[in-house]
Amino acid sequence: MTAKPKISKVDLAEQLRAFVDADFVITDDETMKPYECDGMSMYCEMPLLVVLPETVTQVQRIMRICHEHGVPVVARGAGTGLSAGAMPNKEGVVLSLAKFNRILNIDPLARTASLQPGVRNLAISEEAAQYGLYYGPDPSSQIACTIGGNVAENSGGVHCLKYGLTVHNILKVEMVTAEGDVVTVGSDGLDSCGMDLLALMTGSEGLLGIVTEVKVKLLPKPEVAQVVMAGFDSVQKAGDAVGGIISHGIIPGGLEMMDGHAIVAADDFAGAGYPREAKALLLCEVDGTEEEVHEHIAEAEDVFRKLGATSVRTSQSEEERALLWLGRKSAFPAVGRISPDYYCMDGTIPRRHIAQVLTEMETMSEAFGLRVANVFHAGDGNLHPLILFDANVPGEFERTEAFGASILKLCVEVGGCITGEHGVGVEKIRQMAIQFNDQELEQFHAVKAAFDPTGILNPGKGVPALKFCQEYRSLEYKQHKHEPAEAAHG
Amino acid sequence: MADISQQLQEQVLQARASGEKLNIVGGGTKAFIGREPAPGAGTLNTSGHTGIVDYHPVELVMTVRAGTPLSDIEAALAEEGQALHFEPPHFGPGSTIGGTLACNLSGPARPWAGSMRDQVLGIRLLNGKGEHLRFGGEVMKNVAGYDVSRLQAGALGTLGAITEISLKVMPSLAASLTLIQDMAADDVLHYMNRRAAEPKPITAACWFDGKVYIRLSGAKTAVEATAEKWSGEVMEQGDAFWRSIQDMQHEFFTNGDAPLWRFSVGSTAANPTLAGDWFIDWAGAQRWYRGIAELGDMEPLARAAGGQVSLFRGGDRSGEVMHSQPDALKTIQQRVKNSFDPDGIFNPGRLYSWL
């Protein structure tokens, strides 16, 4: 953790305005207000100031000044993060990369794209489409989220099982270090000499460096994609069917599960024609060559029927495929319509425990007196429980947080982890103590110090201070397993 | 199959107390990789730390002790109709999964199936303080904490002794065939990359001695339909050919004793103008060169091709063998090394003289 900065707000702003357009060194509260939080709007803080550089040299100079004076720096892309990773530090600078929004080059033969960090995820695929190529990772915020943020969070999406995460789809990253040096990790080759710093940077939540350029791999767009929708009268059967598909040797492009609450909410919202009486729904997309898709779709239908699907429907056109996905893709706003607020969790579990985890979650739901709907990236074990609450009811958000914490604890207990793709940020920093012991957390701090000796990059995020962990663990120990804390009933 | 992690831990603690250095050795089949092992150092032998800890085929995840031979892992996977798609090289029957990760070795399928590093989901590691730590997990997605697991790929054991690895596995591919045709070196980079840009089930592409080899694998109907559309003769014994590339038993690698250099470069970059024998793999992203040369003379050629060069086998290993690092990255890597291994116990100087 950094000590108090050794420079005043006025002096810092003056130094920055010496080389950054004065309009883009923001110091007044009204203009800074939109920067007070990211997509996790329950966590807010006003920064000291906001700066929007437009060249790498400017980023270097900002970092050198902040390093010299011990000023915290929080890098920010589109601000769509869901763990308060871009929440400002009140003593520090928000460094927005919004002006780094150019696609620098697309090389159709090499199948790569060179990008400034502020380029939107979806814009990459839109630009690459003219060459029959696309960028693999497709987080649900892809219309707005940026590639720099994707690197910081190691973003995934619905196609991870087959096409991987951000870490599998980037070749190199140019970054500015905490001390203001520009370095490139990775290369145009598929791997580089020495320890894999590119992997270490990916998912580091802005704690190790400021990404200023990214080179990504592009994939040939599959010839065909078709989706099979299967309804089941129990979560257990749907879970078994997921296993059945994998055991059959099919790796779907996407494999999604929704529980009964999510099915009804999504169908009301999107009119996708989901089987409303089903307790669980699977969407299984197969993509590839025409021959491969034809072969695998028939096998998938067969597997689902044999494993007790109550309904099976396969998309016969692009329109139908889009419609079947529309329900799943609008699950979040659909749930938003049936509740004043919702809180999206992000645990992962080994798939075989899905029925047990959903059943225990129902029990917790009753204990906490809060509804929960579940959408699940069944292909890769990433669970997104949506806890429904009303922020205007005093104490309800606190109870929601406690419910969420219990879910994450359960995920770790069955062999999973506290975050699959949303990151730790501020939001899940307490739960880090469940997944890691003190020696492991100490090692993380030491790695951080190797990149950022004075701790100015996004302090207080990602990895908790050890003292805090001991307190959290002893509090957990006193509580009964999965039951809400007493205070939560209040 | 045995868990000797406590014994390994005690040895690290003793080494730390006595100021001893340790060279980490698994099956001992990759002794030729990296700089010469530090003289006077003891040996931390992980080859007794073996066995599959956890394997649920339906999860597509296996957790295995680091000293387990690749052949044991592949046999267990084959029983369930699964495989390691990244095709790790076996340099002998003893080649282990731990060494494969430390060296980040992958076979001909790498551009499509990913590397060893890409499959890693979690590890256990003995650091230089003798702490036995766990990072990552056994699930496909996990962004809690830094990715210390993948950081080990290519670190050649300089950050600690990997004791356990959880990795992603995949269903075996149903069918496979190889197309072969004559092609000049000047044309092959464009050809291979153009093929790789098509949405077809391509899983390997290499060039040697005037011939290009393309492998198609996956659903039988898709493989056959693509083979009909693409040029080239179907190669007999295609699987044996790729196996010889994977294990580096092909004549290019075994003939003579000229040093073997590895260029990891942009797949479309013009080939460096160096007289001698070349083998182009990974659709152009990995180029092997055999010849006597100086690393310092090779680096500008690799940089011009967007990548890096290293001395893979043979030659003088007393000097640097890996592409040099700019000062800022050198400093960061020294600090990272220090954060895991403050007394510099593990594999001193194996990766770089300064690490």
Contacts of B336 in chain A (CB under 8 A): 195, 197, 200, 447, 450
Q: Say how far apart CA B319 and CA B261 lie, in whole Å.
A: 15
Instruction: Note whether B99 and B148 are same-domain residues.
Output: yes
The amino acid sitting at A255 is: L
> How much is the pLDDT for A478?
56
Both B146 and B264 in a single domain? no
B130 to each of B9, B15, B55, B291, B330, how far by Cα in Å?
6, 9, 27, 42, 25
CATH of the domain at A428: 3.30.70.2740
Which residues of chain A neighbour B104 with C-beta distances below 8 Å?
Answer: 191, 196
**For A16-35, b where at least 16 C-beta lie within 10 A, e where not — what string?**
beeebeeebbbbeeeebeeb
In a domain, A1, yes or no: no
Measured in angstroms, the CA of A352 and the nearest CA of chain B are apart by 7
Inside any domain, residue B355: no
Residue at a domain's end among A310, A333, A356: A333
Task: Classify residue B28: in a domain, yes or no.
Answer: yes
Q: How many Å apart are CA B355 and CA B337, to the nearest integer?
A: 7
Query: A443–B154: do the CB atoms touch at under 8 Å?
Result: no
What type of residue is B283? A
Cβ–Cβ gap B114/A168 under 8 Å: yes
Asked if residue A34 and residue A55 are part of one domain, the reply reads: yes
Tell me the two tokens of residue B301. Answer: 């050629």
Q: Are residues B151 and B270 in the same domain?
A: no
Pairwise CA distance, residues A186 & A190, whole Å: 8
* Cβ neighbours of A191 in B, within 8 Å: 104, 115, 117, 153-154, 264
B156 and B246 share one domain:
no
Interface contact A187-B196, CB threshold 8 A: no
- Share above pLDDT 90 across residues of chain B, in percent, rounded to a whole number: 98
Predicted pLDDT of residue A487: 35
Same domain, B134 and B230: no
**Helical H segments across A5-50, by residue range:** 9-17, 29-32
User: Considering only CA atoms, which of B211, B4, B212 is closest in space to residue B98?
Assistant: B4
pLDDT, residue A485, reads 38
Contacts of B297 (CB under 8 A, 6+ apart): none
pLDDT number for residue B67 = 98
pLDDT above 70 (res B170)? yes
Q: Quick one: pLDDT at residue A157?
A: 86
Mean pLDDT confidence for B243-269: 97
What is the domain extent for residue A214?
103-220
Which residues are CB-contacts of A188 (< 8 A; sequence separation ≥ 6)? A110, A112, A171, A172, A215, B265, B266, B267, B269, B305, B306, B307
Contact call for residues A52 and A19 (beta carbons, < 8 A): no
Q: Which of B59, B118, B143 sits opposite A203 (nearest CB)?
A: B143
Instruction: Indicate the helix (H) or strand (E) that contains B225.
Output: helix B220-229
**What are the residues whose beta carbons fall under 8 Å from the beta carbon of B123, sequence distance 6 or more?**
B101, B134, B135, B136, B148, B149, B152, B162, B163, B164, B165, B166
Helix or strand run (H / E) with residue B340: helix B327-340
Residue B325 is assigned to a structural domain of this protein: no
Tell me the CA distances in angstroms from A418 to A205, A239, A351, B62, one per residue in order: 15, 21, 15, 20
Residue A4: the pLDDT is: 82
Give the mean pLDDT of B187-195. Answer: 98
B245 and B142 together in one domain: no
Q: Dump pLDDT digits (tens) for B17-48.
A: 999 999 999 999 999 999 999 899 999 999 99
Per-chain mean pLDDT for chain B = 97
User: Given this model, what pLDDT does residue A488 score?
Assistant: 35
Domain check: are A485 and A346 in the same one? yes
B75 touches chain A (CB under 8 A): no
The verdict on a CB contact (< 8 Å) between A450 and B335 is: yes
Residue of B118, B43, B110, B62 lying closest to B347 (CA atoms): B43
C-alpha span between A212 and A334 (Å, rounded)? 36
Question: Does one domain contain both A324 and A346?
Answer: no
User: Within a domain: residue B209?
Assistant: yes
Task: Please give the tally of structural domains in chain A.
Answer: 4
H or E stretch at A318: helix A318-329
B149 and B133 in a common domain = yes
Nearest to A388 by CA among A403, A376, A377, A378: A403
Query: What's the pLDDT score for residue A479?
Result: 53
Check if the beta carbon of residue A218 is closer than 8 Å to that of residue A128. Answer: yes
CB-CB: which of A183, A194, A448 is closest to B328?
Answer: A183
Residues of chain A with pLDDT under 50: 1, 480-490
C-alpha span between A457 and A338 (Å, rounded): 39
The mean pLDDT value for B242-255 works out to 98
CB contacts, 8 Å: B201 with chain A: 288-289, 292
* Of the listed ranges A35-39, A481-485, B50-54, B83-87, the one predicted with least confidence: A481-485
Domain ranges, residue B38: 5-171+333-340
- Nearest CB neighbour to A249, from listed B115, B174, B351: B174
| Residues A93-108: tens digit of each pLDDT | 999 999 999 999 999 9
Do A347 and A478 have their domain in common? yes
Q: What is the ipTM of this complex?
A: 0.97
**Of the candidates A220, A241, A275, which is a domain's last residue?**
A220
User: CATH no. for residue A177?
Assistant: 3.30.465.10
Same domain membership, residue B111 and residue B65: yes
Three-state DSSP at A217 gives strand
H runs (alpha helix) in A187-234: 197-201
Instruction: Tell me what pLDDT residue A336 has.
Output: 85
Q: Do B137 and A220 touch (CB under 8 A)?
A: no
Out of A57, A79, A96, pick the residue that ends a domain: A96
Which backbone phi and psi does B143 adopt, to 5 degrees? -115, 20
Do A348 and A471 share a domain, yes or no? yes
- B231: Cβ–Cβ under 8 A, 6 or more apart, which residues? B179, B181
